[in-house]
Structure 1
Amino acid sequence: MTVRVRFAPSPTGMFHVGGARSALQNWIYAKQQGGVFVLRIEDTDAARNKPEWTEGILSALDWIGISRGSYEGPYFQSANAGEHRAAAARLHESGRAYYCDCTREDVQARTGSQYQGYDGYHRDRGLGPGPGHALRFRTPDEGATVVVDLIRGEPTFENKLIEDFVIARGDGSPVFLLANVVDDMTMGITHVIRAEEHLPNTPKQQLLWEALGVKPPIWAHVPVVVNEKRQKLSKRRDKVALEAYRDEGYLAGAMRNYLMLLGWAPSGDREIVPWSVIEDEFRLDEVNLSSAFFDEKKLRAFNGEYIRALPVAEFVDACQPWLTGTGTIAPPPWQPEEFDADAFAAVAPLAQTRIAVLSEIVPNVDFLFLASPLIDEAAWTKTMKDGSAELLDDAVAAFEALDSWDAESLKSTLEAVGAERGLKLGKTQAPVRVAVTGRTVGLPLFESLEVLGRERTLTRMRAARLRLV
């Protein structure tokens, strides 16, 4: 038997990081088993679906390494609507489903509780199809439904506790439960790997598989992804869009590695490992049953490690979208013609060790490409105190006299200026840094001044001095 797994997102918004984890888990499992990964777009919610969301899913999968052409599909659930209706009809004809025109209020009136499930009122009343007549599955009265789950063992659900659930609406359109089952049957899916939030629906879906005469798939319900308050990640409350992390400058390799660690770990006391190790060692039956905490701080640290591990040339290439204003959330504060590739290449090794996400490259190097620095007013107020004007005067005079404009000469010269005032280098260089870069923190100062050049450095220091008048 060829293993066939599927990833079935809905194109109703940005691509959720939890969905990305499910896609990766399915992808790796299929590769390990020599099987097939199927992509199905569940697009039957016409009111919320948008073509750009579908393209967003495909692009996001590309980014994390599940490239187009390497999987089967994408298929679209809407294209299988005829099969969904045909399955509903077969279930009715075989007596496994019946029509019901009860409203929620009807059920509540009979049971006396808004929390009571459907009471089977129309099971044997012979109601036929018609407007407002929903089709309900006839759940067995006795026995239990056993779900074979690669992660959770064999969860068992008593059938008497499963209500006769709706499989087609009053207008005849099948609901998600039935459409999902029929699609999986049509596509020959053998294993369904998904989040545990779907587990309550699984006995219902398994009953549908059996009623339609097909052997159910093997299930694997992985733990849900939660935030720091142990709440399920929500797009309304949490930062969950994979595209947002991509556009902020997270590397695909770091994101991929981190997502696979949500509920699982490779052998040994290690977390950052080559992707080939994850592909080789990942096992569904080793996935932890506890909810998986999506720790953005940890992801950020991961990403910093991945950035520092890049060859410098690759780091330079990776920064280009943020430096040139292509494919980013916002363009850089300079015009494209102001960007100096040689200047950036000179400071790239220094910047590479100081940023955790690629978008941070802009505030670290913007002073190189602007006519004047963007002054952080809080930094100015904190740094430019009594004595700063005179210190800048002395520094300008000392820098003007330099024969060689290099980092070492600049450093020793400014140290001497500070020593005459009884200041250590840290105190001495702070006003110079703010005058030249606009900030109190950034790349190593003297290497930055060397790249910026004598003329631009002195011009900025003089301008800062005039502001202190």
Structure 2
Amino acid sequence: MKEVRVRIAPSPTGNCHVGTARNALYNYIFAKKNNGKMILRIDDTDMKRNSEESEKGIFEGLRWIGIDWDEGPDVGGPYGPYRQSERLDIYNKYIEQLINEGKAYYCFCTEEEIEAERREQALKKETVKYSGRCRNLSKEEVEKKLSEGCKYVVRFKVPEKVIRFRDIVRGELTWDGSIMGDFVIRKSDGVPTYNFATAVDDWIMKISHIMRSQEHIPNTFNQVLILEALGAEIPEYVHFPLLLNEDRTKISKRDGALYIGEYKDMGYLKEAVANFIVLLGWHPADDEEFLLMEDMISKFSLERINNSNVVFDFKKLEWFNGIHIRNKTVEELSQLVIPFLKSTEYYEEVVKNPVKLEKIVEVERERIKRLDEVGKVFKMFYIEPEVYDIDEIKESVKKVEVAEMINMIDEAVVELKNIEKWEKNILEDYMRKLCDRINTKPKILFMLLRIGETGSRISPPLFDTFEIIGRDSTIKRLENFKNFLIKSN
């Protein structure tokens, strides 16, 4: 078997899109499984829309989810340069070769003439394609127009035959060349088109497998024709299913939260994002869903790529994120949440007391879906409740008068002040004994204590919360809560 060489070739016209990341991940794990090479090439022939910032975003986004490359613009390699804008001389060499061999030609038709042709073809219900008006110009006619400075493009002569290529997943795909029309391979600004530059690069860089989204199938027919005309070996092709929004429309760069950098900022773990996107079009033979990178590499096979398009389900991504959060150690997760706490009013205490942070992480990680939630979720451990809602309190402990609530909290504070060892098990034992003594149900007292301590009916286990917040702050909070109840009575 020849060396496996795969590539990902994004355009730097936006940050790293989730579709690009999914395709890159498939290429990467396929290369790793087959001891091959992963190549990153920047397809930047769209000179007007390219940006260095977008290229940087692509590098950072792919590396963030664990993808690296053996050759590329930033690491070099034997087939560089790896930006198409730096390879124009290479493309022009092969375009001139095709012209000299009669496989391509200069086209001097204006945009207005081509548009008029298309309108006429549409009216006649004919196939809309370039008519080939300049296809058979004589050498003298061409030289005359060039000497006069006439604007031109270079077109590829499409043979009237059935074009074929084999897709590893979809089988043999065919297209009738007679309805294609001669397509442009060099634009009037001298820059080659995407299809020409891509075909030449894949050939010269010895790419063995071209694996990309199914929207590129029409491009593949053009590229196969170019490769055949150059006498190049045709690579293997795989076309992945499209990613769809929940309304079944195609996901595009204009849709929200689709750049890998956004997921990082929203508090998704890189392992969760990689796990989620690898299953957008593929699944392992054992149907295991929780996958780390090493699992993906060992289990991946092209034969298990789906043909059907895939809906991008944000709820499933959150589920994966929760699973991967809980797979982290407390120490690992504590370090991961720190960047999301820097803007909080209590960040100084976070830095001063890392042990407290680890205790909070330990009790809260079952509830965390995304790391950008932690600033709000952890606040109760550092900041006293600012307000209480008497209606919510009454709703939470029905049929209990406010005066009785005040008495319960007062009794609890007295007991808590007498506890020497401030540990959750001891605290719970004291409070349960108090319930027996004052003849009340634990769920009633515990709910009041929870609201008094945190300002919310929902919190981690109550006495874990007491232990983490500490004696002085707990007693102060409950006394403030009692005073609020007195004023509300």
Whether the TM-score (by the shorter chain) exceeds 0.5 is yes
Deviation at 1:207, TM superposition (A): 0.6
Is 2:173 the counterpart of 1:161?
no
Deviation at 1:46, TM superposition (A): 3.3
TM-score by length of 1: 0.88
The superposition leaves residues 212-233 of structure 1 with CA deviations (integer Å, 9 ceiling, x where unpaired) of 2212221111111112222221
Q: What is the distance in 2 between the residues matched to 1:4 and 1:432?
A: 63
- Separation of aligned partners in 1, 2:12 and 2:407: 61
Aligned partners of 2:129 and 2:179 also within 8 Å: no
**d(CA) in 2 for partners of 1:338 and 1:253?**
25
CA contact (8 A) 2:413 2:478 kept: no
Which residue of structure 2 aligns with residue 116 of structure 1?
128
Quote the Cα distance in structure 2 between the aligned partners of 1:423 and 1:104: 86
1:13 is matched with 14
1:122 corresponds to which letter in structure 2? C
The CA deviation string for residues 96-152 of structure 1, in whole angstroms up to 9 with x for no partner, is 122223345423433525582222222113445445312211111x22111121111
Q: For each residue in 1:256-297, what CA deviation from the matched residue of structure 2 results, as whole angstroms up to 9, or x when unmatched?
A: 222221122112242114433321221112211001222221
Contact 1:395–1:417 (8 Å) recurs in 2: no
SS of equivalent to 1:73? coil
Aligned to 2:158: 139
* CA drift at 1:337: 4.5
Contact 2:269 2:321 in 1 (8 A): yes
3-state DSSP class of the match of 1:220?
strand
Quote how far apart the aligned CAs of 1:54 are: 1.9
For 1:380 and 1:132, the matched residues in 2 are separated by 79
Cα displacement string for residues 189-236 of structure 1 (whole angstroms, at most 9, x for unaligned residues) = 121110101011111011111112212221111111112222221232
| Letter aligned with residue 16 of structure 2 | F
Structure 2 match to 1:106: 113
Shift of residue 418, structure 1, vs aligned partner = 6.7
* 401-410 vs 357-366, which moves further: 401-410
Identity %: 35
Paired with 1:121 and 1:422, the residues of 2 have a C-alpha distance of: 98
Structure of larger gyration radius: 2
Q: 1:248 to 1:393 in 2, by over 3 A?
A: farther
Aligned to 2:310: 292
Q: In the alignment, which residue of structure 1 is the partner of 2:465?
A: 448
1:395 corresponds to which residue? 409
Gaps of at least 5 residues in structure 2 are 74-81
Give the Å deviation of 1:396: 4.0
Q: Distance in 2 between matches of 1:45 and 1:399?
A: 70
Name the SS of the counterpart of 1:148 in structure 2.
strand
CA positional deviation for 1:448: 0.7
Asked if 1:173 is matched to 2:208, the reply is no
Identify if the C-alpha distance between structure 1 residues 209 and 412 changes in structure 2 by more than 3 Å, giving closer, same or farther.
Answer: same
Does 2:94 match 1:87?
A: yes
TM-score, structure 2 length as denominator? 0.85
Cα gap change, 1:387/1:241 in structure 2, threshold over 3 Å: closer, same or farther?
farther
Compare 452-461 and 401-410 and name the one that shifted more.
401-410
Match of 1:352 among 338, 362, 365: 365
SS in 2 for 1:174: coil
1:433 aligns with 2:450: yes
2:151 and 2:333 map into 1 onto residues whose CA distance is: 60
Residue matched to 2:57: 56
Q: State the Cα RMSD in Å.
A: 2.7
Q: Deviations over 1:312-353 (max 9, x none)?
A: 222222222223x2xxxxx23423355431211223221122
Task: List alignment gaps of at least 5 residues for structure 1.
Answer: 326-330
Helix, strand or coil at the partner of 2:41: strand
The one-letter code matched in structure 2 to 1:342 is V
Aligned residues: 457
Counterpart secondary structure, 2:58 = helix
